[in-house]
A and B are shown apart, each in its own frame.
Chain A
Amino acid sequence: MTALRAWLLPHRIVMIGLFAALVLWCAFALRWDWIPKYAPLALEGIWRTIWLLVVTTVLGFLLAIPLGLAQAVGPWYLATPARVFCTVIRGTPLLLQIWLLYYGLGSLFPQYPWIRESELWPYLRQAWPYAVLALTLSYAGYEGEVMRGAFASVARGQIEAAQAFGMPRFTMFRRIWLPQAIQTALPTLGGETVLQLKATPLVATIAIVEIYAVASRVRQDTFIVYEPLLLLAVVYLVIAGLLALGFRKLEARVPVKGH
């Protein structure tokens, strides 16, 4: 009720009215006649963007757990490589990483006959394995740092209690340590996942047809400048909004003291 009332303040009603007028003006004054022709391609592009986002965040998160653990409690010969990996990933632009993997590895592989003759070769000639690899490593690099903090912040008493009950180490990790670390990291993970969504259009530069590439093609084919970009921005806004909503639901599953 209060949420609804917050939207009905006088100045907000005026602003919503102005915004609606702007949307109507955009709908009628700008050119949208290209949409029916490109709609199937655009849907495919949106699907590919979401697929990339889901696959790379899941794989990247699985990789981030050992990275964070190694940095938080690991011996130095595990902690140092993990820290170097995170620093390098976070210190260089993702676009450069994508191009290094795609052009660099892509030009290196054909020189080795045993790679060319292997069963993987048909996949290695396509662009998407490099895109998935680059985005996964990037997410893992950023999340490794987040998980390091999260693992270190789990209260000692929790782990000591599990040890006192004679819980095996792996069970303790799975039942006590990891869930609590994920719970603390969830707000940051939500933000980082939106950042990952914003990173997906970079793979359009290595010829993967996701939604950004579809918009670029529309612009090239029809010479329309603004309309595809505006629609593209709206698509990303909607996906980012859904992500934020989903993470808020996840966070709300565990009640926090004092709220």
Chain B
Amino acid sequence: MTTLADRPVDGSDEPGADPPEPARQKSDPYDRDVLPTPKGATRALLRELLRPYRARVWLAAVVLVVQQAAVQVGPLIVAYAIDRAIPALRAHDKGPLIATAVGYLGCALLAGVLQRAFIRLSGTVSQDVLLDLRGRIFRHAQALGLDFHERYTSGRIIARATSDVESFRELLSEGMQELFDVALSVLYIGLVLLYLDWALGLFALATALPLAWVMRSFHRRSRRVYTRRSAAIASVIVRFTETMNGIRPVQAFRRERDNDAAFAELNRTHERANGDAIVEMGRFNVTSWLIANTSVALVVLWGGYRVASGSLELGVLAAFVLYLRRLYGPIDPLGMFLNSWQSAAASLEKIAGLLAQRPSVPEPARPRALPVQSGDRPGRTVAFEGVRFGYRTGGEVLPRFDLSIPAGQTVAVVGATGAGKSTLAKLLCRFYDPTGGRVTLDGVDLRELTVPELRRGVVMVTQESFLFSGTVAENISLGNPDATAAEMETAAKAIGAHDFIAALPDGYDTDVRKRGGRISAGQRQLVAFARALLADPAVLVLDEATSSLDVPSERAVQQAMDTVLHGRTAVIIAHRLSTVEIADRVLVMESGRVVEDGTPAELIDGSGRFAHLHQAWRDSLV
């Protein structure tokens, strides 16, 4: 009876074919945190993000080109001072010296001013891009269907929106300028060196070849070790978070010592990977510095030899030495840049993968409005017409399902776990779309309704009653943000939540996450009910919404429902038969089919499954 999982279960498509050696389900991309990302999606995302800021990106590039020119011209002026200004001065010509002074100081100031302009400019662009990216991820995650959320897990979405965005931010704010600085300075310095002395310049630039090779090999090797390290830290984080969130069972079942050992293992793996990463970085630095310093020495040697033999001017040699130190200066930052580039690229790919997911429940292209209601009855007619539904991984949960609920009727649905009750509720709320057939509200397919229209039509109270941070009042008014405080209190009173809320330290303004805001599971369900009442929908769906309530509270809720539901259409998924008493009609479901359908009285008096169940339940009562 309970062999069918009542929620979609990842990778459960072949329950009979267990491999002998249990392992993670490698076949499912969701398990490996790798979503099918279309080729080039990362690049396309990056282009798309930057497109609105093209003008400013170009402007920033121009600023940087000029700024680097002002920075790199310095040693050239030094050479000029030594080779031209000093001899001129000896000949009592102050002109070149004044030119030197003006040029050097001017460049210094220009470099400073432009540096400032560039940081501001690139800061605005990167912040705008990040704002855009964060918003996209957030809105997209909200738009994606529940089936996606159930498979992808909350932790991963949170990681996409936080740590992955963060590594992209680091690249934008710290890495980008580094890269352009390096590129431009190599370009400028190369040109200047060639201009000063082509032979010595060519020689100096030739040392860039081994350097490039070292960089490439570092890039390749570090990718492996960094992937290893980020995987290692991810397992450390999961273990850590899980332990802290589950501290009650951890302590109650004395897991501390075993956890210490398991954590030590993960921690050691991370320590090793971390050490490897640092060593790898060190190897890169040392090798590049060896190359850099060797080439400086060789330039000094050859240049000095040529100055000594009279074929090179001293100022040129001085400029060479100064330039070479500059050329190799950014080696360390470059290594770091390569790292942040790598992690940002990996992050961006994951983000692109998330954004490439198409919502399984898309908003309609051409929305229709619900027909205007006649009379004062708020309810609407619900119909399932030839609806078929199966979760992506499992078999069909609803084989072929037809059901019509007239406006104003209260229907209770009972059945064992896995009978398809919750699926029915989720289809009615359009958490999922059916694989075949259609679900309609007053004859309009749910797929043709906009979200606000749909939620004026159908609202659901779920079994899990998550509270958002903020006050109790804010949590209730989520149902209808425009409601007044009085309306909210009325809703809370109607459902029997007012008493406990009034007893909280700050009443309705008690922060549910702060001191004294401890709210029990049953109380949270009452808040969820009050929220639904406030929403005032045409169709109300209750999915096992009273499981944590005690009998009187449940009774109070039911009494409230009796008045609240009057004239409204309601579908109540019931674990408990007590709920059935307020229903006009009862459906008994089994394996995705309705096997019994009638008024409570009819079914109880009959001899079917429901009558049997009901008898057993009566017996347990007082």
Q: Do A and B bind each other?
A: no
- A residues in contact (CB < 8 Å) with B: none
